[in-house]
Amino acid sequence: MLGTFTMATQTAADAAAAHAGSLLAPATLLGRAGADPVAPALALRSATRLAPALTVKMLDGFRVWQGTEALPALPQGRVRALLKLLLLQRRRPISRARLAALFWPEADADSARNNLHVALHRLRRTLGGAARLHLGGEGYQLVTPGETWLDTEQFVQHAEAGLHEEQSGHAQEAIAQYEAALSLYHRDLLEEGEWESSLAADAQALRDRLSQVLERLLSLREQRADWHGCLQHALRQLEIDACNESVHRRMMRCYSSLGQIQLAERQYRQCVQVLRDQFGIGPSEETTALYRRIASRMAA
């Protein structure tokens, strides 16, 4: 379900991504604005410079490319989690003390430092020329020789752009940005590994942002009477939180608006069942009142 999108959604996502990319290319935009006859050549060179030196996907499995070549053997265990953390936090250094505490909490200070030294050595060998580990006064930071593209960063940028467009009253542009964000988020950041807990805070922040994006899309789709689009996003939201009553109610309203009263009733019963199974409680009065209004239509 997380990887299923319509062609229209993908087109909107591509357009939004292109727009976001233009924000990172001031030299290209200046070349277009001027009358200089060599502007096309400058723009071409600018575009070449902006080609990512490192491309990283962490929301669809963990994969890394140097230019167009995939790094053949990514590390496992602690070193893998360490690389992901340094990528996620690449814009600010991480102290030795914090790294040691995250990855070797059970070791004494000297052992933790030695273990960190060994892990960083293995990481340098893995990265080769794709990136280097810089040690400054505030700690370690991953530095690449050129532009770095991370799906996690792009996801957040599209989500923030969508919120800005929505607050500016541009509903269609907001939807395009939110859809572009969704197109990047296929799986959660955490993998099946005992050291992935070091990434728990980053993973939860991304998951919370995904919920926010879906909630805004649900609202925008419902406002525009796009019942099918609303249902699509609601199903994905329920994959994150099956007990979210507001999403169940949205689906009930969508089904009712489509004239599918029996499906609305079924959605209510699913809500009742999941709340009972998870928490041993029934739905709220608001949810039950909505069901009764819909059911009265079916009886009529």
Tell me which amino acid residue 105 is: P
Q: What is the pLDDT of residues 221-249, one digit of tens each?
A: 999 999 999 999 999 999 999 999 999 99
Over residues 162-169, mean pLDDT = 97
Q: For residue 148, what pLDDT is reported? A: 93
- The Cα 194–Cα 191 span in angstroms is 9
Q: Between these two residues, 296 and 44, which has the higher pLDDT value?
A: 296
Tell which phi-psi region holds residue 27, choosing left (phi > 0), alpha (psi between -120 and 50) or beta. alpha
Report the chain's mean pLDDT, rounded to a whole number: 83
Percentage of residues in the chain having pLDDT higher than 90: 69
- The Cα 292–Cα 270 span in angstroms is 15
Residue (of 170, 202, 172) closest to 189 by Cα position: 202
Domain 60-146 coded CATH 1.10.10.10? yes
pLDDT at residue 64 is higher than 70 = yes
pLDDT at residue 95 is higher than 90 = yes
Q: Do 248 and 287 form a contact (C-beta atoms < 8 A)? A: yes
Q: For residue 47, what pLDDT is reported? A: 43
Indicate the domain borders of the chain.
1-50+150-224, 60-146, 242-300
pTM (two decimals): 0.77
Q: What is the pLDDT of residues 104-141, one digit of tens each?
A: 998 998 999 999 999 999 999 999 889 999 999 899 99
pLDDT at residue 207 is higher than 80 = yes
